[in-house]
Structure 1
Amino acid sequence: MTVTDKDRDVLARTLYGEARGEGLAGMLAVAWTIRNRVNDGQEKSWWGEGYAGVCLKPCQFSCWNKGDPNYPFLSGARQIPLRELAQCQIAADQVIDGKVPDPTGGATHYYATTLSTAPAWAASAKRTLTLGSHLFFKDVP
Structure 2
Amino acid sequence: MLKIKIFTINFLISFIIVLLSVTVIAAPDLSLIYVIQQGDTLSEIAAEYDVDINKLKAVNNISNKANIKMGDELIIPQEKSEKSKNKKKLLFKEFNSTKEELSFTINTHYAARINPGHQAPNIDKIPEDKIINYYVGPGDTLYDLARDFSTTIGTILALNNRENSFLRSGERIRLPINNLTSHQILNQRVSKQELDLLARAVYGESRGEPYAGQVAVAAVIINRVLSHQFPDTFAEVIYQGGQFSAVSDGQINLSPNQTAYRAAREALNGSDPTNGALYFYNPKTATRVSFFKGRRVVTKIGDHVFVE
Please provide the CA RMSD for this pair.
Answer: 1.8
Larger Rg over CA atoms: 2
Deviation digits for residues 57-82 of structure 1 (CA, Å, limit 9, x no counterpart): 121111111xx1xx1x533xxx53xx
Q: Which has the higher helix share?
A: 1
Is the 2:275–2:298 Cα contact (8 Å) retained in structure 1? yes
Which one has more relative contact order, counting CA pairs under 8 Å at least 6 apart? 1
- Match of residue 126 from structure 1: 296
Structure 2: gaps of 5 or more residues: 1-185
Deviation digits for residues 24-78 of structure 1 (CA, Å, limit 9, x no counterpart): 11101111111111111x3xxx52222222112121111111xx1xx1x533xxx
- Match of residue 8 from structure 1: 195
Is the 1:37–1:47 Cα contact (8 Å) retained in structure 2? yes
- Match of residue 238 from structure 2: 55
Q: SS in structure 2 opposite 1:22?
A: coil
Q: SS in structure 1 opposite 2:280?
A: strand
> What is the identity, as a one-letter code, of the residue corresponding to 2:246?
C
- Give 4+ residue runs of structure 1 displaced > 4 Å after superposition: none
Shift of 1:117: 5.7
Is the 2:283–2:289 Cα contact (8 Å) retained in structure 1? no
Cα separation, 2, equivalents of 1:113 and 1:127:
12
* Correspondent of 1:111 among 281, 293, 296: 281
**Aligned sequence identity (%):** 32
Is the 1:7–1:52 Cα contact (8 Å) retained in structure 2? yes
**Structure 1 residues 31 and 116: alpha-carbon distance in aligned structure 2, compared to 1, 3 A threshold:** closer
Task: Give runs of aligned pairs for residues 42-121 of structure 1, distance below 5 A.
Answer: 42=228, 46-65=229-248, 68=249, 71=250, 73-75=251-253, 80=255, 85-98=257-270, 100=271, 102-115=272-285, 119-121=289-291
Q: SS in structure 1 opposite 2:298?
A: strand
